Structure 1
Amino acid sequence: MIYERSGQVSLPLKTVHAELAKDLDFDFDAGVFQNLLGLFSIEIALDIYQIWEGNFLHYWQELNAFTVQITYD
C-alpha cells in the first residue's frame, strides 16, 4: 500500500504475470551453481537440479507455462 499526503491509500497496479525472481542458476559451462547463499561447485547441486528440472518440465509440458524455442547458429 502507498499512503498519499491526502491520507488516501492507493494500491499498486497488478500485472498480468508475476515477475519471477532468479533464485537458482546452473552454469554447466563454468561448472558452478548459484543460489541466494552463494556460488558452489555444480556437483553440490545434483539433487536440487533434478527437482528443478522436474518442476520445469511439469510447468512446460502439463501447464503450458513456458514457450521453449531452440535455435542454433
Structure 2
Amino acid sequence: MRKMPATRPPNTVPKYCQAMKGTGPNFIGQYIGFLVYVWTVYGNGFWVYPTTISSGILYGYVWRTSHYEYSQFRVSMIDCLY
C-alpha cells in the first residue's frame, strides 16, 4: 500500500468532462500515484489518490471533508475523471 498524499486536494472542483467518459482500468492505471477528481455513475464526485487497480477494483485514498480515508470501489462505477 502506498502512502497517502501529504497535502489536501484543491478547494475547487474541476468541471465535468465528457471527453473522459467511459474510462476503464487501463486508462485509469496511468493515474496511479496522482490526485484526481472522480465522478461516479450516480453523479457524485470526490478527490481520490489511486494506489492500485486489481480485478476491476480501484484502491486508494479518498478525501472525506477533512482527511484521507483508504477506500476501494469498482472501476465500473466511475463515469469520468479529471
Give the TM-score normalised by the residue count of structure 2.
0.25
Q: Which has the higher helix share?
A: 1
TM-score (norm: length of structure 1) = 0.26
Larger fraction in strand: 2
Larger radius of gyration, structure 1 or 2?
1
